[in-house]
Structure formats: structure tokens, C-alpha cells
Chain A
Amino acid sequence: MKNFFRKVAFGIGPNEEVPSDPLAWALNQLDDVPDLTWKGKIPSRKEMIEIHARKTRIEEKKVRKKYKNDKKLLKIGIERLEDETGQGFWPALELSIRHTEAMHSTSPVLAKLWFFWANHFAIVEGGYRAQFYTGPYEREIIRPNLNQSFEKLVYDVTISSAMIHSLNNSENIGPKSKSAKNKKRTINENHARELLELHTVSPASGYTQEDITQLAYVMTGWRLGWSKSAKDTMPVEFDKDYHQPGKKTVFGKTYKSGKKGLVNVIKDLVNHPNCRDFIATKLCRYLITDNPTEEMKRPIIKAFKDSDGFLPEIHKAAIRVAFEYNDQYQKFQNPENWFLQMAKLADFSWPPSPTIMDLYEVGKKPQLVHKRPLHTLKGLGHFPYGSKQPNGFSDFEVDWTSPELLIRRLVYAKDFFEFTKSKNNNFKFYKNIVKKNFDNPERIIKYLEKANKHYEAQILLFNHPEFLRA
């Protein structure tokens, strides 16, 4: 039963009580979205956009002009600019904020679901997005919506600058729009297709190429604002000059021309039966097993329907199902979840403290310690803002089981011994965390006793089959 604490969260730390009622403990975390636990500075999306715009639109141009005849100097100049604008620092700061929610907040279950939705609505890495935008997008667009409806979440994500940019909707232009009068312009289907396939109804709903094209028409006009100095870094707005006039038909339903089309079509998409099924499947897959059964999905689908897609109710249903099937299914954990569970159980000094992170000033080169979370997650092969494709990272355990990925777990369990606290470097400590987190602690302790160094006990515990799964 105790693996439930890792299945829906990140385990029980050495100084925490084991909750007497695990299900109630989990369900109680899902009604509210508390403030972030991170005590350091948290930049707003707007600030990040400004920092990024200043870099790409002003400073980089200067550097390119200055060194235009010397490739080597240009490379050095660009690298220095990247350091000075904190390119390696910002994602590390975002990871610190994220990991603090998982390890040190009072709502780790909510954090785990936050990670799920952030991955469901993944932003493609694409150049600087991972560095400047994705973390703030996950904090400001996704997280505050976790106690709202799925419909609102989808709408806010769809018109967020991160997603509009990631899926090229600024280039999605009505061929009969005003802006296409003098210059030949047409639609870009990318965002429309993924809104159907990845975000809402999935291919199982049987949409056609014509549905995609029509939805793309509905979405024309939603684009990043434009100014000469900040170009593609402005907030998203609906510009009717780019909108395809006339009615559009998606899934047999007609939508009027204009700004309201998008909100209306999203309302219908999230109420499509395939959408409920798709979300239930993905939640079960994330928490329970690669191949969810109909019985598993049913209560989640019902909660979705009964509550009109209210996310706290959907989440509670999913957690209940995870609890019900807890002893029957154990799932191989993805690298970031594995790392966070290790960090939490072993009481690592992780992530870097707010004091350290706040020492960074824009214009200075970040220190190695400032970039450590970034290097760590990249090294693990699971940098959450570095999705190569809009479908995010895989939730199938088979994708996370291979020699290279086991190597990483061996190496990290060893190397992160430097993050343990000296007071914990004794076998009593390891026995204590095993007892708190496993139903048959003796089975594991028996092996740990064979270790002759503390760091060896750490490698054995965090690569033990029972720890690799939850």
C-alpha cells in the first residue's frame, strides 16, 4: 500500500509522518491551488518576455553587426550574450520552483498532476522557448487552472503565447481575410491538428482532413501581437484582419465567423465523448499502467461528465482509481519522477536554495551551481521543457526502460550522494526511509545491509526494483 505515496506523489520524507489515511491525504490536496512554495524571486511571464526580447531584438543584433566579418568572434559574442541574459539560469530556476512543489510543498499530489498537464500541453523545445517561456507558461497558464474546468484550461492554453508560437498559429491566416487581399496567404494547420489530436478528442474521434482545415479557419486571427522591437514576443491577440470570414463546420457543427468561434468550438470539443475517454486513458496511463482498462477509466469519465469537466473532480476520481488498483499495478517511474522520489526520500539539499538562486543578476554569467538543475535533468534524458515534439514525453514505461536509462540511475544515485546531509549518513537513516515507504521493508533492508559504504546503500536502494516502480 505504501507505494501509493510514490505512485501519486513523491514518497514520504524522513521527517514526515506516514499519513494514516493515504486516500484522504491525497484527495485533500486537490481542491485548492495554493501559492507556490518557492521563497525566492519568481519572474513573471511578462518579465521573461521582456528579457528575451531585449536579447534577441536588440543585443543580438548589435553583436551580429559588430562581428559580422569574424565567425569565431561572433560565436564567442553570442555565447557571452547567452550567459549575460541568463539562458542557462532561467530554466534551472524554473526547475527549482517545480521541484520545490514536488519535494517541499504541502500538496505534492497536485504537483504530480501539474507535471501531467504540463506534459499533456507540451511546448516544443524550439530554440529559446525552453529557456525563457515554458517554465513561466506552466506556472501561469496551467497551474492556476488546476481547480478550474478542463474547458477553461484548454482555452487558456490554446491562446497562450507559448502554444500559439510553438504550433505556428501566427502563420495561420485566412486566405480570404483582409490581410490576404494584397499578398497571397493561407492557413497553417499545425495548431488546429494538435488541438484535436493531442489536446482534446484524439484521433479515435474520427475527424477528417476537412475538420482540421475548418478548425484551422476558426483559429485564424489568433496570433502574437507585433511591434518592431519585440516582434514575436508580444501577447496573443485576436486580429480580425487575419481571420477567415464566413461560417466554418467542425464535426458537422457550424460556427460563425469571428473571435467567439474558438471558445465555442473548444466547448464542443471538450464535451465530445472521445475527449473524456482520452483524458481518462492518459491519466490512468500516467498513474497506473501503460494499458488502462475500461473499468479503470469508467469512474474518471463519469466524474468528467457529471462535473462538467471540473478538474478537481476529475483528479479525485483518478486518484481514487489509482488507490483502488495500487496493489495490482506498479509502474516503472519516468526519470524526473524517479529523481524527485530519490531526492525526497534521501532528504537531499535539493533544489538549490532560493538564497543561491537569487544571487544571480541579469547581465552576469550564471555560476555552475545556478545551472545544476538544468544539467541534471538534461543528463537524465528528461528535461521537462525540452520536449522535441508537441506530444511531450512518453508515459509508456517501455520507453523508459533501456540500458542507457538504467546507467543514468546508477550514476545519479551515486553522484547525488554529495547532496545528502551528513547527519543522514548512517544505515539507520536508510532503514527509516525504507520503513516509511515500503510494505515489506525487511526484504529491501536485507540487501542494503550488504553495502559497505553509505553511498553504496543509496545506489542499491534507489535502483531496487521496488523503488524503480510505484
Chain B
Amino acid sequence: MKISRRDFLKGTATTLFLAGFNLPAIASSSKKKNLVVIMLRGGMDGLCAVPVIGDKNFEKRRKNILIENTIKLNSDFALHPKLKAFNECWNENTGSIVHATSIPYTQRSHFEGQNLMESGGRVAYQEKTGWVGRAMNLAKLQGDGLALSLPMPLLLRGIPKNNNYFPADGRLPRKETLDLLKSVYADSSEDELLEMMDFIKKRKDEQMMGGTSVRGKRKNRNLAKQAAVYLRKSDGPRVAVFEVNGFDTHAAQGGVDGTHTKCLVEMDDIIKNLKENLKEAYKDTIILTVTEFGRTIKQNGGNGTEHGYGTAIFMAGGLLKKSQVHTDWPGLKRKEMYEGRDLNATIDARSVYASAMSTVFDLDFKRIQKDVFWGEDLQNLSDKLFKA
């Protein structure tokens, strides 16, 4: 481990200087920029995905589930060998990792954790809106959110008129029927149903089927293709949200072919299909991941891992400054770990998200900090991680 905490802090000093004040909310920007969030449910193991190199403490505690033949990223970190699409992004200078990070939640419950990773708050179930939804509201991006899942995730709530896309079987009723129903909704002041109907009427039957054969149309890789088609349109949505389930590998987490790997590959497939199908628009996009917590350093009784704290964030897209592992590495000695068992988090994940949204939505970081994250103490990482 060559990186030291002091080196890192030297690097961050400039950000204080650059933090803007009272800039206009929406700077004029000709390009449409996109944000894609992939929610990794169940607790993504940052140290399985991006293991630290040459740390005896780590290797000892994970004898049976250590990933072999990893891809070396730099002198300190390696990449899981199955993350081929992300590795390609890395090689093209459009793939980054933030390591030893987490949302500020340490209680290790999935459901509280997932609620907080989406709401961005500190008290579970307190907030009824998500951090992406609130920032979109700030940027006045009504009707620009697309969820590739059922139901509508909390993450996107906070701005009306979000759409979701998760292909159904069958065909819509004819237009006349939809119009009749719309009039029912209008007459009974059902605004929400009315809005939904407006989205639905725009949808064509071939889109309902996912533009692909029936088999696998609701699989993430196919949803990613379709999302990319929408996102690259100049009048299409600007935000897309995916979810990958199954990271909660208490048992049989496995090594390079295990369950955790399967989930990581699903994430990698989303990145791959987005990148291929976004085409030119990839360079105006940030793809990033969120998860509720990392996993314990030590393997448990069933060659799995327990709920932990610190984890990693994957980012890809042309709006990234460069390929890098950005971290303030806390170390893995017992006293360096959180409660003696978990990777510590030294960067609030919300700093990364606020900085990303500042870039994509052309919003001043301080406004996001204040209006989306209640003025909490977040770092502006925009100039370190993203292109201006």
C-alpha cells in the first residue's frame, strides 16, 4: 500500500478554493448530458470488485473467496477479472472508482440502508423523495427521469412526471379507449393517473415489447440497450435508473465464478450495453453505482460475507476527468477498520453524487449541497472526478 493519507489530503486542498458561490442555477449548456444510476441491492462488496493489492491482512481473512487473476489498475488496486466492459472504459480513460466510501449509514440493515442510499438522508424512512429526484427538481428537469424497473424507485421521486420502462407482454388498448379513460381521470381530478396516461399514449406497441424477442426483454442488458436509445435522443430523458439484485451473499459468495461475481457481471453488462448504444452520447454521460453498504473483510461460516460499511463506487462515461481510483485509504488493520470488522468509509458517497449531479445538471455544487442534501458537510469533488 503506497498511498498515504497525507498525499490524498494535499490533493484535496484545491477543492475548497474552487467551490463556487451563487452561480446561476442553470448555466447555459448546449449539450444534453445524461446521468445513469445503477443501484446495486444487497450490499456490494467493494473489496471483491476492486481488491487492494499486497495487503496480508486482507488475503488472510478471505482465504476461500479471494479473487485470482485480477487486473492490475495501479500500484495499489486491482479489478475483478470478469469486469471486462468496465476495464475497457478504464483503458479508454473513461472509467473511475471511488474506494472506501459509503453513504453515512452504519447500522447494516438492508432495508434501512437501501432507503437511505436512495433518499440520501440519515434517518431511514424519514424522507419521501430521492436525491436524484430532488436535484432534477432543482434543475427543472420535469419529465426527464426514466426508471428501468418496477416499481418507481424512491431515488427518482421528488419530481413529478417520471417515466418507467419495463416491457410488458401484450398490446395497449386502442387510442379511443385510452382517450375515454383519460377523460374519466380528468373529470375526477386524478392528476397523477392523468400524467401517467400522457406517457402511455406516447408509447408505441413495439417499444412495449422491448424491441427485442420476447425472451429476456426484461433483462438488464436489454433494458440498457433500450435506455441508451432513449437517452441519446436530444428530447429523450436525461436520467436513467437501473437496479441489480442479489449482492447479499451471506453464503457461497464464491470466488471468480461465484454469486457475487454474477451480480457484478450484470452491472458490467449494463455498462457495456449503454456504452455501445449511447454511441456519441456516451461522452456526455456519467454512469455511476450506489449500494447500501459494503461487506465484512472477513469471510463467514459459509464462505460468504456479512453486512459491512465501506465499499466502492464504479463510474464510467465521457464526462469523467480520467481513469483513477480516488480514495483516502483507511487501511485494513484491526484498529483501522470500522468496529474492527469493516472497511472504513473515508469519503461520503453523497459527495461523489452531488459532484456528479453538479456536472450533469449544470447546477452549482453548493446549491445541490443545500437543497438536495440539507446543507450537510459534503466535499466538492467535481474538479477531481469530472470534466467541467
Chain A positions within 8 Å of B, measured between CB atoms, are 167-168, 170-173, 175, 185-190, 193, 197-198, 203, 209, 375, 379, 381, 388-391, 394, 398-408, 410-415, 447, 450-451, 456, 459-460, 463-465, 468
Q: Which of B107, B151, B180, B181 has the most CB of A within 10 A?
A: B151
Contacting A at CB under 8 A, from B173-203, are 173, 177-178, 180-181, 184-185, 188, 190, 192-193, 196-197, 199-200, 203
Quote the shortest CB–CB distance from A250 to chain B (angstroms).
Answer: 17
Q: Kindly list chain B residues whose C-beta atoms are within 8 Å of the C-beta of A451.
A: 177, 180
28 A-B residue pairs with CB within 8 Å:
A168-B251, A168-B302, A170-B302, A187-B300, A188-B306, A193-B109, A379-B168, A379-B169, A381-B150, A388-B246, A398-B152, A398-B157, A399-B151, A399-B152, A401-B192, A402-B162, A402-B196, A404-B168, A405-B150, A407-B203, A410-B178, A411-B169, A414-B172, A414-B173, A451-B180, A456-B173, A456-B177, A465-B193
Quote the shortest CB–CB distance from A101 to chain B (angstroms).
Answer: 25
Q: Which of A193, A390, A394, A402 has the most CB of B within 10 A?
A: A402
The answer to whether B108 touches A172, judged by C-beta atoms less than 8 angstroms apart, is no
The answer to whether A173 touches B301, judged by C-beta atoms less than 8 angstroms apart, is yes
Closest to B339 in A: A209
10 smallest beta-carbon distances between A and B, as pairs? A171-B302, A402-B152, A399-B151, A411-B170, A381-B150, A403-B199, A190-B250, A173-B301, A168-B251, A403-B196
Closest to A165 in B: B251
Chain B positions within 8 Å of A, measured between CB atoms, are 41-42, 107-112, 124, 128, 147, 150-152, 157, 162-166, 168-173, 177-178, 180-181, 184-185, 188, 190, 192-193, 196-197, 199-200, 203, 208, 245-246, 248, 250-251, 300-302, 304, 306-307, 339
Q: Kindly list chain A residues whose C-beta atoms are within 8 Å of the C-beta of B245.
A: 388-389
- The 8 Å CB contact of A188, one of B112, B152, B301, is B301
- Bound together, the chains give a CA A399 to CA B118 distance in angstroms of 14
Closest to A124 in B: B248
The answer to whether B200 touches A407, judged by C-beta atoms less than 8 angstroms apart, is yes
The answer to whether B172 touches A411, judged by C-beta atoms less than 8 angstroms apart, is yes
The answer to whether A459 touches B173, judged by C-beta atoms less than 8 angstroms apart, is yes
Quote the shortest CB–CB distance from B109 to chain A (angstroms).
Answer: 6
The answer to whether A188 touches B304, judged by C-beta atoms less than 8 angstroms apart, is yes
Q: Kindly list chain B residues whose C-beta atoms are within 8 Å of the C-beta of A168.
A: 250-251, 302, 304
Quote the shortest CB–CB distance from B343 to chain A (angstroms).
Answer: 16
The answer to whether B177 touches A407, judged by C-beta atoms less than 8 angstroms apart, is no
- Bound together, the chains give a CA A199 to CA B196 distance in angstroms of 35
- Bound together, the chains give a CA A185 to CA B64 distance in angstroms of 12
The answer to whether B164 touches A410, judged by C-beta atoms less than 8 angstroms apart, is no
The answer to whether B177 touches A406, judged by C-beta atoms less than 8 angstroms apart, is no
The answer to whether A389 touches B110, judged by C-beta atoms less than 8 angstroms apart, is yes
Classify the interface of chain B: helix, strand, loop or mixed: loop
Quote the shortest CB–CB distance from A284 to chain B (angstroms).
Answer: 15
The answer to whether A407 touches B208, judged by C-beta atoms less than 8 angstroms apart, is yes
Quote the shortest CB–CB distance from B367 to chain A (angstroms).
Answer: 27
- Bound together, the chains give a CA A459 to CA B176 distance in angstroms of 12
Q: Which of B170, B181, B248, B301 has the most CB of A within 10 A?
A: B301
- Bound together, the chains give a CA A187 to CA B300 distance in angstroms of 6
The answer to whether B200 touches A410, judged by C-beta atoms less than 8 angstroms apart, is yes
Q: Kindly list chain A residues whose C-beta atoms are within 8 Å of the C-beta of B166.
A: 381, 404
Quote the shortest CB–CB distance from A172 to chain B (angstroms).
Answer: 7
The answer to whether A407 touches B168, judged by C-beta atoms less than 8 angstroms apart, is yes
- Bound together, the chains give a CA A187 to CA B251 distance in angstroms of 11
The answer to whether A465 touches B165, judged by C-beta atoms less than 8 angstroms apart, is no
The answer to whether A404 touches B169, judged by C-beta atoms less than 8 angstroms apart, is no
The answer to whether A186 touches B301, judged by C-beta atoms less than 8 angstroms apart, is yes
Q: Kindly list chain A residues whose C-beta atoms are within 8 Å of the C-beta of B177.
A: 414, 451, 456, 459-460
The answer to whether B173 touches A404, judged by C-beta atoms less than 8 angstroms apart, is no
- The 8 Å CB contact of B306, one of A189, A399, A403, is A189
Quote the shortest CB–CB distance from A350 to chain B (angstroms).
Answer: 16
Q: Kindly list chain B residues whose C-beta atoms are within 8 Å of the C-beta of A389.
A: 41-42, 110-111, 245, 248
- Bound together, the chains give a CA A402 to CA B197 distance in angstroms of 10
* Known contacts A168-B302, A399-B152, A459-B173; A203/B107 CB under 8 A: yes
Q: Kindly list chain A residues whose C-beta atoms are within 8 Å of the C-beta of B108.
A: 193, 209
- Bound together, the chains give a CA A173 to CA B302 distance in angstroms of 9
Q: Kindly list chain B residues whose C-beta atoms are within 8 Å of the C-beta of A175.
A: 301
- The 8 Å CB contact of A408, one of B147, B157, B168, B307, is B168
New A-B pairs, 15, CB < 8 Å, besides A400-B151, A410-B178: A168-B251, A170-B302, A175-B301, A189-B307, A197-B111, A209-B339, A390-B110, A402-B151, A402-B164, A403-B199, A406-B196, A407-B203, A410-B173, A415-B170, A459-B181
The answer to whether B301 touches A187, judged by C-beta atoms less than 8 angstroms apart, is yes
- The 8 Å CB contact of B184, one of A171, A391, A464, is A464
Quote the shortest CB–CB distance from B324 to chain A (angstroms).
Answer: 33
- Bound together, the chains give a CA A404 to CA B207 distance in angstroms of 12
- Bound together, the chains give a CA A170 to CA B178 distance in angstroms of 52
The answer to whether A188 touches B302, judged by C-beta atoms less than 8 angstroms apart, is yes
The answer to whether A171 touches B41, judged by C-beta atoms less than 8 angstroms apart, is no
- Bound together, the chains give a CA A411 to CA B184 distance in angstroms of 18
The answer to whether B172 touches A407, judged by C-beta atoms less than 8 angstroms apart, is yes
Closest to B208 in A: A407
Q: Kindly list chain B residues whose C-beta atoms are within 8 Å of the C-beta of A190.
A: 248, 250, 306
* Known contacts A389-B110, A402-B164, A447-B180; A171/B124 CB under 8 A: no
- The 8 Å CB contact of A404, one of B107, B111, B150, is B150
The answer to whether A186 touches B196, judged by C-beta atoms less than 8 angstroms apart, is no
The answer to whether A460 touches B41, judged by C-beta atoms less than 8 angstroms apart, is no
The answer to whether B300 touches A186, judged by C-beta atoms less than 8 angstroms apart, is yes
Q: Which of A403, A405, A412, A450 has the most CB of B within 10 A?
A: A403
- Bound together, the chains give a CA A369 to CA B165 distance in angstroms of 28
- Bound together, the chains give a CA A350 to CA B108 distance in angstroms of 43
Q: Kindly list chain A residues whose C-beta atoms are within 8 Å of the C-beta of B339.
A: 209
Q: Which of A190, A209, A398, A404 has the most CB of B within 10 A?
A: A404
Q: Kindly list chain B residues whose C-beta atoms are within 8 Å of the C-beta of A197.
A: 109, 111
Quote the shortest CB–CB distance from B208 to chain A (angstroms).
Answer: 7
Q: Which of A168, A193, A394 has the most CB of B within 10 A?
A: A168
Q: Kindly list chain A residues whose C-beta atoms are within 8 Å of the C-beta of B199.
A: 403
